[in-house]
Amino acid sequence: MTIPGLWHEAWAAAAVNHLWQSTVVAGVAWLLTLALRKNQARTRYWVWMAASVKFLVPFAAFVAAGAWLRSLVPARPVAQPAFAAVMQGLAQPLAETETFNAAGASVAAHSADFLPLVLVAVWVLGAAVVLARWIRGWMSVRAAMRGVRAIEIEADVPAFAVSAAMEPGIFGIFRPVLLLPEGILSRLTRAQLDAIVAHEMCHVRRRDNLTFALHMIVEAAFWFYPPVWWIGARLIEERERACDEAVVQQGGSAESYAEGILNVCRFCVESPLACAAGVTGADLKMRIVQIMTGTAVCRLTMTKKLLLAVLATSVVAAPVAFGLMQEPLPAGQILHASGPLPSFEVAAIKPDHSGSGHGRIGAAGMSAPMDRFIVTNFTIKDLIRWAWAGKSVSLPDDQVSGGPSWINSEHYDIDAKLEEPQAAAMAKLSPPDRTVQVRLMVQSLLADRFKLVVNDTTVTRPIYALVIAKDGPKLQETVPGSPSQGFGSRGEIRAHGMPITLLVRFLSQEGVGRPVLDETGLKGKYDIDLKWNPDLSSPDMMPGPSSSTESAPADTSGPSIFTALQEQLGLKLKATKGPVEDLVIMHIDHPTAN
């Protein structure tokens, strides 16, 4: 069953990251406007407009564009400069963690978490209120335009007199008109009227109605975020100052212009639409002072023009370049030690001649103090595949190459013991960290007793990408805070609180024949019940407690894992190509004596 809010965790993280990034851009814009406070207002207006538009375009879109461009050229290793790490932090400022306890029985599914639905409903309601207010203002302007009277004045757009006492303003985005309140002409001198009309024509030439309409979209989408409204106030302030500067620079009388604005204020009320550029907006007192004192406006120097050009280019080019240089993580990543390898206290190794064809690997005392690690009927190659598996249950067979033929044909049993302090320390680790430590110990054991030497290399080869199927996912999301439990065997996974990343690890091992990458975008944890017809030739290498009894035979009558994923989980394995980290056996000997 597909539940509402299935992607709410991913969407929440993406939204917070986007707000964080946009806030950084807004802060940079504020610093720029401080540096440009003695320059033209039109420059500061476009700086604030860029900060507003950033709310509509996430950095992830530019990074994705860079990744797409990188996909058009053959893959090759690229050295990432230091700024890539900075971009990584800017693109993903929120750390993500995940844990999963692969022990115990499955638990009944819980009811869905309705908090995401409530938050979505609140957001929709808030956006609707903002839009309703603007629609009401637009309707009032439309009502005032009924029965308008055309007037003859020197203007670049048609001019009309309206009966409503609204301030003079430019209305319309693509076919703007100048609306003047009936009777205003008799209250203004010719010089005052010319200055007011010049102000409005400046709005037309600058297309202020169009640009502010874009910001109104930002306000409707991010109505809950105060910086968006603060940016809107700065835009209105700078657009009016920009037109004031233009009128004065055109040679108009500052005194007549200021008196005209004051007369309009005495006669009219403010326009009901922020995107209908008028003449009385922003801080009126400060505007009058600036008009009358003739505050000098400095033109941009070549240095400042170059700085603005570099910053504007960097906002787009930096994330695109980051996407170009960021190589995708290799599928089936190999586990590497970050320091000296931990080792067992003692280990007994002997050939297995049972011929059962059924191998087991696990630990005695995995849930108590873990004191022993047991391997039954394993080939050395299978053990290498398990020990070096990073983000999969075991490396696929074709990711390990080299070595003599006996590593595929001879089977061994291993009984390794840990020291008491080591076992006590292991018991305090989380199950995933405990598994990593055991894998590293097995690497040490193979190097010590088998004289194993390996090397790794990254190549591009066919892989599978786990994606969401056409009809959408069929996953039951786990209630946050409930314990993670699960059971995995060949041909079946039953889990409660399982992240998709761990499901990918199982799929990489269970008969798909290629490494698997997670491209679902699902970041939550889910209750998963998946059954399929396993490839019986694959060894059972699920990590977990070892047992002296054989597991029940797998059901071989079910669908393939490809069909089961699509029918039961709404997911799909898509064939593609990507970087794969291979392990090459450089040297290995038969084990030394116990």
Residue 542 tokens, joined = 């699920």
Residue 587 above 90 pLDDT?
yes
Strand partners, 363: 373, 545
Q: How many CA atoms lie within 13 A of 397 on its CB side?
A: 10
Q: Which amino acid is at 297?
A: V
Q: In whole angstroms, how far apart are CA 340 and each of 337, 343, 445, 456, 472?
A: 7, 9, 13, 18, 45
d(CA 508, CA 401): 17
Over residues 318-333, mean pLDDT:
63
Residue 373 above 80 pLDDT?
yes
pLDDT computed for residue 391 by the predictor: 58
Q: In whole angstroms, how far apart are CA 464 and each of 111, 335, 459, 467, 576?
A: 32, 20, 15, 9, 6
Axis crossing angle, helix 8-35 with helix 59-71, rounded to the nearest 10: 110
Of 214, 235, 274, which is closest to residue 55 (Cα–Cα)?
A: 214
pLDDT computed for residue 27 by the predictor: 92
d(CA 493, CA 506): 9
d(CA 153, CA 160): 10
pLDDT computed for residue 4 by the predictor: 37
Residue 140 tokens, joined = 């009032």
pLDDT for 102-117, tens place per residue? 333 333 333 334 677 7
Average pLDDT, the chain: 77
Query: Residue 416: pLDDT band by 50, 70, 90 thresholds?
Result: very high
pLDDT computed for residue 84 by the predictor: 45
Whole-model pTM above 0.75?
no
Share of the chain residues as helix, strand and coil, in percent rounded to the nearest 5: 45, 20, 35
Alpha carbon of residue 126 to chain centroid: 24
Over residues 168-195, mean pLDDT:
85
d(CA 372, CA 365): 7
pLDDT computed for residue 384 by the predictor: 92
Instruction: Give burial (CB, 10 Å; 0-12/13-18/19+) of 411.
Output: buried
pLDDT for 427-478, tens place per residue? 888 777 888 888 999 999 999 999 999 998 888 888 888 899 988 888 888 8
Most confident stretch, 197-211, 354-368, 534-548: 197-211
Contact 365, 423 (CB under 8 A): yes
pLDDT for 64-104, tens place per residue? 677 667 656 544 444 444 444 444 444 444 433 333 333 33
Residue 288 above 90 pLDDT?
no
Contact 267, 221 (CB under 8 A): no
Which runs of E-coded beta strand occur in 478-556?
485-489, 492-499, 516-518, 525-531
- Location of structure tokens 């209120």: 129
Contact 348, 411 (CB under 8 A): no
pLDDT for 508-519, tens place per residue? 765 576 778 888
Contact 211, 275 (CB under 8 A): no
Of 448, 439, 446, which is closest to residue 389 (Cα–Cα)?
A: 439
Residue 223 above 90 pLDDT?
yes
Burial readout 522-547 (b: 16 or more C-beta within 10 A, e: otherwise) = bbbbbbbebbbbbbeebbbbbbbebe
